[in-house]
Structure 1
Amino acid sequence: MSAALVVEATGPAALLQDLGRPGLAHLGVSPSGAADRAAHRLANRLVGNDEGAATLEVTLGGLVVRATATVFVAVTGAPTTVRVDGAPTASHTTLVLRTGSRLLVEPPPRGLRNHVAVRGGLAVPAVLGSRSRDVLAGLGPAPLAVGDVLPVGTPTAPLPDADRAPAPTPPAGLAVRPGPRRDWFAADAWTTLLGTVWTVTADVDRVAVRLSGPALARTVTAELPSEGLVRGAVQVPASGQPLLFGPDHPVTGGYPVLAVLTSSAADAAAQLRPGDPVRFVG
């Protein structure tokens, strides 16, 4: 029998993700892809996959999958406990699932998301060249449901010599660079952005993370024609409270972008949960 993972529980949310579908913004298609790309890439490396192979993106744990044949898997992202047939082990290591074995990803004590890679990748049909689910556009494979059978592909490279990796530690701050509309803001807006300990609100998903703190004042109050957005854009709507855009961001937006997260900071932002403090460095 061909190897597959059978979904027995999904937790709050579980999606198929790869590195997305870049280069289609002119068609109105967001890149999408893994929210924490570093975690996605690491999970694939631990099982000898190409970094672009599809993984399972799990939000706040709860995923249970059963292997129909012996497979190698790895769980990365937020450090958490992983159970194989009930026996606890750590994330960020290569694990073997024998035929009939069950993998459980427990909710992480901190952080939000985990990525589960299986050796050979998940061979579900691609949509516009990607196996990523875009939750804003409703594009790509449907969110996982109990009973789904996910076929496993054929390995194309040997297993790596290293079978474990250090678990990530949260950065002291999210690194930012000036955005294209910094000149639309008051002179102290940049120092306020960097000098404030912001709080993550309840509005957290793959589209954006909304922060709470002092209002960032604008000096240009004219309407801004819609312009392109990117993952990591720090957009400031009329409320003055910043939004951090994630992988499923709209293709365009009509509010000024004060700053842009670096790629590694955008990965770290994907692990923010409501109530977390956030600092920016730049």
Structure 2
Amino acid sequence: MTASPATARSVEVLQPGYGATVQDLGRPGHAALGVSPSGAADRDSLRLANRLVGNHESAAGIEAPLGGLTLRFDHHATVALTGAPCPARVGRRQVDMYAPVRLAPGDELRVATPAEGLRLYIAVRGGLRTPATLGSRSTDTIAGLGPARLAAGDVLPVGTSTTGWPAADLAPRPRLPAEPRLRILPGPRDDWFTAAALTALTSQPYTVTTDSDRVGMRLDGPALERLHHRELPSEATVAGALQVPPSGRPILFLADHPVTGGYPVIAVVHEADLPLAAQARPGQTLRFSHRA
């Protein structure tokens, strides 16, 4: 992932944090090839970061779960940090979230670990120009597409495509909820479950387990009882699907979900609520409610 000598502007990864990746808005339209859309898990945060630096919303940036990374810039750059609120510094200067940050050549941006939320997004004016696969620069961790997870020493080329400067230089957002509430639409296999299963799903909290990543979140809570115990042929799945394995504890599919699954899906989380789901960290509780 090293830039060529001709690359005029780049970002060097000094510390990669805890599994940071390059992400854009994904590669939709390839499910027939067995490729999920992938892309940023919290798309709202990536879009906002790009708007704050004058990029196209689809420009590639960095998704950093739990922060912890350090980047060095070789050019006058403008960056924006959104998503999980992380303390960040350039030298001795503290920098703010949700606002453009100007950097000089040689500056190092150091990001700490967030006190709440999970995924931080960093946009660089001009966008990251890592090689594209199937029209996207996103890292798909389940299919192995796109660039590898960031590692110390990686040099990321920066592009020049922008949309002009935004009208606002600050975009404050409310704090992330301590207990996210995710709206669901029952189905397509809710008829495989007892009526009590859907009631349990929407009336009691579930805890995000440590067995969670960009593919999905395994949840701990009330087991969802099935009416039918026969095998289900593999069928299409989408981000937000709540697939229920034999344990009865649901798995919430996220950005890198498989395109097919063999367990029944009791419900699907509203697409607009997936950014909230993407910010839920292990040990946190969340609730489901019927879509309004």
Aligned to 2:219: 211
How far is 1:156 from its partner?
2.7
Mapped to 2, the partners of 1:106 and 1:91 lie a distance apart of: 12
The answer to whether residue 72 in structure 2 is matched with residue 66 in structure 1 is yes
Aligned to 1:45: 51
How far is 1:155 from its partner?
3.4
How far is 1:170 from its partner?
2.9
Residue deviations 1:188-233 (CA, integer Å, cap 9, x gap): 1111001011111111100110111111001111111100011110
Mapped to 2, the partners of 1:246 and 1:276 lie a distance apart of: 16
| TM-score (normalised: structure 2) | 0.94
Mapped to 1, the partners of 2:206 and 2:92 lie a distance apart of: 39
Aligned pair partner of 2:15 in 9, 12, 33? 9
Q: Which runs of 5+ in 2 are unaligned?
A: 1-6
Mapped to 1, the partners of 2:171 and 2:110 lie a distance apart of: 19
The answer to whether residue 184 in structure 2 is matched with residue 176 in structure 1 is yes
Aligned pair partner of 1:262 in 264, 270, 275? 270
How far is 1:90 from its partner?
2.0
Mapped to 2, the partners of 1:179 and 1:85 lie a distance apart of: 51
Mapped to 1, the partners of 2:239 and 2:212 lie a distance apart of: 15
Aligned to 2:243: 235
How far is 1:264 from its partner?
2.4
Aligned pair partner of 1:93 in 88, 95, 99? 99
Q: Which runs of 5+ in 1 are unaligned?
A: none
SS at match of 1:193: helix
Aligned to 1:26: 32
1:42 is matched by which residue type in structure 2?
Answer: L
Aligned to 1:200: 208
CA contact (8 A) 2:116 2:176 kept: no
SS at match of 1:222: coil
1:221 is matched by which residue type in structure 2?
Answer: H
- Aligned residue pairs total 282
Mapped to 1, the partners of 2:84 and 2:115 lie a distance apart of: 8
Mapped to 2, the partners of 1:82 and 1:43 lie a distance apart of: 15
The answer to whether residue 137 in structure 2 is matched with residue 131 in structure 1 is yes
The answer to whether residue 253 in structure 2 is matched with residue 245 in structure 1 is yes
How far is 1:104 from its partner?
1.4
Mapped to 2, the partners of 1:57 and 1:234 lie a distance apart of: 24
CA contact (8 A) 1:201 1:211 kept: yes
SS at match of 2:188: coil
Mapped to 1, the partners of 2:63 and 2:76 lie a distance apart of: 21
Mapped to 1, the partners of 2:90 and 2:256 lie a distance apart of: 32
1:242 is matched by which residue type in structure 2?
Answer: P
SS at match of 1:188: helix
List structure 1 segments (4+ residues) > 3 angstroms apart after TM superposition.
none
Mapped to 1, the partners of 2:226 and 2:267 lie a distance apart of: 14
Mapped to 2, the partners of 1:52 and 1:38 lie a distance apart of: 11
SS at match of 2:230: coil
How far is 1:157 from its partner?
1.6
2:168 is matched by which residue type in structure 1?
Answer: A
1:99 is matched by which residue type in structure 2?
Answer: P
SS at match of 1:142: coil
Farther-moved stretch of structure 1 (104-113 vs 171-180): 171-180
Mapped to 2, the partners of 1:32 and 1:275 lie a distance apart of: 24
2:278 is matched by which residue type in structure 1?
Answer: A
Aligned to 2:288: 280
CA contact (8 A) 2:11 2:73 kept: yes
Mapped to 1, the partners of 2:119 and 2:245 lie a distance apart of: 27
Mapped to 2, the partners of 1:80 and 1:49 lie a distance apart of: 22
Mapped to 2, the partners of 1:86 and 1:56 lie a distance apart of: 23
Mapped to 1, the partners of 2:135 and 2:211 lie a distance apart of: 30
Mapped to 2, the partners of 1:139 and 1:259 lie a distance apart of: 28
